[in-house]
Structure 1
Amino acid sequence: MRANSFSTKSKSFYYYLLMVYFLPCFACFSQSESSSTFTNPILQDGADPYAYYHTDNYYYYMATRGNRIDLWKTKSLTTLAEASPITVWKAPASGKNSCCIWAPEIHFIDGKWYIYYTASDKDNEGDHSRYVFVLENASPDPTLGEWIDKGKINTKYSGIDGSLFSYKGKRYFLYSPYIGNHSDIAIAEMKNPWTLKGEETILASPEFDWEKTDDRSILEGPMFLEGPKDKVFIVYSGGACWDDNYSLGMLVASKKGNFLKASTWKKSPEPVLSMSEENQVYGPGHHGFAKSPDGTETWVIYHAKDKPGLGCAQRSSRMQVINWDIKGMPVFGKPVNINDPIKKPSGE
């Protein structure tokens, strides 16, 4: 009896030590792991996401809102949902930019802020009246100050998804023009942040099956990406937002090439980011790129859906890091399941 009694006391003392000394350590490990990772989505209602990292160490984030332009300001994209968006502009009651406000993106150029967005005339709505427009703000903080309407970009065609980039002293404009029964990728040089100069060049048209749907063949959402070696890229969306096979495609060029010549660019035959039934990610597309806070990583931000057959509904914003192979080509990998933890961006 005495031996059994001693054994019982020993067990009790052992459990006491476990509770007092070891369980808090397990909690620390769990908390540490949780604070170093995040899960998608970063924003539940987040179609056509775009993020710009400024010199003030803030990310400025945007997504399609339909009748207005909202702007998020956050130190961390992984905690974006905790930030409160500010409506910086609302569509007018009538006119050429009165409806269908899509795919805004923000840039800081020569000391001023510019927002590029797609819009149409609600009294004459359709692809024929859809163009890219520009807003300007001289405030150092884009959530403050006044946004001035600079009007419509003087593109040759109606079209959507305007984007721009600067490279070696020149500024370029990309968009997706409507040409016949399909949408292409076009480029032009810019005279100033709201005006194109010279001729537009069609860089790519739909040609592969994954770039086509029953309704329309579409290339859209072009975005410039500079590689770590001798190549640059234009990553675009192929297909349509209502199709589960909506994917990211890519054009490749040499950094020494003439970006305004179509022959400079070579299209990859396969998508670089596409649907994953295994990971329950459907229609990944319409993206942006952002550096980690310390500048060492490149992240792709894109929208996708959790279930098939949702059309263009329930598109949430996700993000994942891009790796680079030995040739300096981007490796996107598979779109990550929303239940899988992802290591937070470096420097966050």
Structure 2
Amino acid sequence: MTELNFQRHRRLRQSAAMRSMVRETHLHTEDFIYPVFVAEGTGIKKEISSMPGVFQYSLDRFGEELDEIVSLGIPAIMIFGIPAEKDAVGSGAYHDHGIVQEATRFTKERYPELLVVADTCLCEYTDHGHCGVIENGQVLNDPSLDLLARTAVSQVEAGADIIAPSNMMDGFVAAIRHGLDAAGFQHIPIMSYAVKYASSYYGPFREAAESTPQFGDRKSYQMDPANRLEAIREASSDVEEGADFLIVKPALAYMDIIRDVKNNFVLPVVAYNVSGEYSMVKAAAQNGWIDEKSVVLETLTGMKRAGADLILTYHAKDAARWLEGK
């Protein structure tokens, strides 16, 4: 046989120990933020039909969810609230005793070390389902900023460790940073939904958070999925305005955007593995079409490989168990 000169890459793949030794990307439970849904009322533990394994909890049942999260070593949660009543200006979002505020107090009393990230938006609280003030069928940018800043301050006063504004109004980070600083909360970081696309992957979340727009859509303020360079412009604005983390949402179809953001900025990058991404995996697994554990861990590892430092994911509890061999 003629002597050939070629690289033998397989030398480093011969055993599990060898593959582990040279592995470039590592997934850890500490990478996860787990989104939770807390509803006003009592006795509520309601599974989201389109998100198997994900529930709405009332405060009197929320403790059991927190116990499990902490037992698995997940370091942070993001709280979404479902109010009993809604109005045109989303006043429940910034009420001192709103559901996110009460859930935050409950969490910090029970587990002070668990990081609470507060979703800072109005859509769950408005009767029209949009993320700001409406006039003549249009979402008004600047009047919405005042309400978002009020919401952020109220959430921090209740004990939130991190504010995560998701509304995509222009200037929302600047307004919230100013509001927090003026209230004496200069130390509170902002985890900005810096790059949030108007995505079809959000469908199941609308059921979970009961936040479906009652007219139109959110394409006038969320980004066009076809745009890549616009993501850098959006993230740049948020960095200049005082963001401390940059979220890219969704994640699975936007791995290139995660990498672009990671390459262009030095802040921690958060990938939001959104509801539709979760539900597709769950549905395929329930039909026996895929191995859920392998697909979930491969997907989350891919997000880290793309550049995510942290991952917001509904798979967090399952992934934590699998990573710990439970």
Q: Normalised by the size of structure 2, how large is the TM-score?
A: 0.31
- Which protein has the bigger strand share? 1
User: Highest Rg: 1 or 2?
Assistant: 1
- When you count helix as a share of all residues, which structure comes out higher? 2
RCO comparison, higher one (Cα < 8 Å, 6+): 2
